[in-house]
Amino acid sequence: MRQSSVRAHNLALVLRQVADSANPISRATVAAATGLTRATVSALVDDLVAGGLLTELDPPPRTGAGRPAAGLALAADGPAALGCEINVDYLAACVVDLTGAVRHRLVEHADQRPAGAAAALAGLGRLAARARALADADGLPLAGAALAVPGLVAADGLIRVAPNLGWQDVDAPGLLRHAPGMADLPITVDNEANLAALGELRAGGGAPDSFVYVSGEIGIGAGIVLDGALYRGVRGWSGEIGHVPVHPGGRECRCGAHGCLEQYAGMEAILREAGVSSLDQIQAPLSSAGTALGLALAAVVNLLDIDTIVLGGIYVPLLPWLRDHIETELHHRVLTAHLAPVTLRAAVLGPDAAMRGAADAVIRSVRDDPAAWLSRAGRL
């Protein structure tokens, strides 16, 4: 390896040790854990502190013999992330700092379907610019932005199709860059369920290494996490659980087929079933939606041998009204149900999982390659 790539590798190694530690740790502990010499670790730590990625905390009051060591921690005023989400009926943006703390959160509820892609992304751009101004006021430099969308996204960020928005081949990064203050920011785009699943995996809420995350909105998507990694599928388009048939020959779906899960357990179907106009009015079990979800999830469990299902989006508040019907179907249809239970639980990040996952993706990219950030920020 070239010298510079060895150094980049070691910077990431040191930063990861500090990030993964529950408490501030000393340079000596980092050296012991990484196998690097103390002199090497000290030089790397100095660069990370100077670059605004690490902070050195005062040592705790001495309790015994010897000089207590200063503790290292991620810098809360270091590079931050802008997490954005566009969904059928809302826009959202948040600022998350390097430690993973949410510093600002903005949400605007409005149906995005009538406006079309350019207007919806212009609206999101204004929201993102407001979030960026709040980050600026806090003195937080932004490392980048990530956008969660309810659709199939190509590797270059092009939204190939978002059926519930009625979008096709939308250049989201290109349109977002027109917003004030966004032109210089690296922007990535990913499917909202994928980002939410990654957010849950890393949120430390006890998510296992393998699970399926199901995001309920007007559409329904899934993020499949296997052995700690997102399974994206051959072309990156896995997780379209909303179009798993649960009633062949049933209601027509926006995708053109009939009887898709979305038509029974998507938000509009649920409001219809409950005969209410908003989710917080729901006060009774949702048998049709719960049974439809149970049918689709039983197929997923039978196919993948997953033992945990995490429900996100609108399913977080609705889980008490869905759980019995889902579990009845799982019990009845999962071949191994009597051998090992399937755990059904709500997303720990709640309805914000997708935009939090988006911000987390940016933070991870800084943590995984601090040298790239330092060189971009002119600090290396």
Binding site for Zn ion (CB under 5 A): 243, 253, 255, 257, 260
Q: What is the DSSP string of 34-56?
A: H---HHHHHHHHHHHHHTTSEEE
In the complex, least distance from residue 258 CB atom to Zn ion, rounded to whole angstroms: 8
Q: Is 197 exposed, middle or buried (0-12, 13-18, 19+ CB in 10 A)?
A: buried
Whole-number Å distance between alpha carbons of 380 and 376 = 8
Whole-number Å distance between alpha carbons of 243 and 310 = 18
Handedness of CA 251, 257, 259, 260 (dihedral sign): negative
- Structural tokens at position 103: 């510093």
Strands (E), the chain: 54-57, 71-74, 80-87, 90-96, 102-109, 142-149, 152-153, 158-162, 167-171, 187-191, 211-216, 220-226, 229-231, 308-313, 343-346
In the complex, least distance from residue 260 CB atom to Zn ion, rounded to whole angstroms: 3
For residues 260 and 295, which CB has a smaller minimum distance to Zn ion in the complex?
Answer: 260
**Bridge partner list, 223:** 213
For residues 104 and 243, which CB has a smaller minimum distance to Zn ion in the complex?
Answer: 243
In the complex, least distance from residue 162 CB atom to Zn ion, rounded to whole angstroms: 13
β-pair type (142-149, 80-87): parallel
In the complex, least distance from residue 188 CB atom to Zn ion, rounded to whole angstroms: 27
Give the phi and the psi of residue 358 in degrees, each rounded to 5.
-65, -50
For residues 71 and 221, which CB has a smaller minimum distance to Zn ion in the complex?
Answer: 221
Supply angle C-alpha 254, 258, 261, rounded to 5.
75
Residue type, 45: V
In the complex, least distance from residue 256 CB atom to Zn ion, rounded to whole angstroms: 7
Output the furthest CA–CA distance in the chain (Å, rounded): 77
For residues 7 and 247, which CB has a smaller minimum distance to Zn ion in the complex?
Answer: 247
For residues 97 and 262, which CB has a smaller minimum distance to Zn ion in the complex?
Answer: 262
In the complex, least distance from residue 262 CB atom to Zn ion, rounded to whole angstroms: 6
Q: Is 99 exposed, middle or buried (0-12, 13-18, 19+ CB in 10 A)?
A: middle
Residues 6 or more apart whose CB falls under 8 angstroms from that of 198 comprise 223, 225, 230, 357, 360, 361
For residues 50 and 257, which CB has a smaller minimum distance to Zn ion in the complex?
Answer: 257
Q: Does residue 188 sit in helix, strand or coil?
A: strand
In the complex, least distance from residue 159 CB atom to Zn ion, rounded to whole angstroms: 18
For residues 243 and 367, which CB has a smaller minimum distance to Zn ion in the complex?
Answer: 243
In the complex, least distance from residue 269 CB atom to Zn ion, rounded to whole angstroms: 12
Whole-number Å distance between alpha carbons of 96 and 94 = 6
In the complex, least distance from residue 246 CB atom to Zn ion, rounded to whole angstroms: 10
**Cβ neighbours of 88 (radius 10 Å):** 20
For residues 124 and 253, which CB has a smaller minimum distance to Zn ion in the complex?
Answer: 253
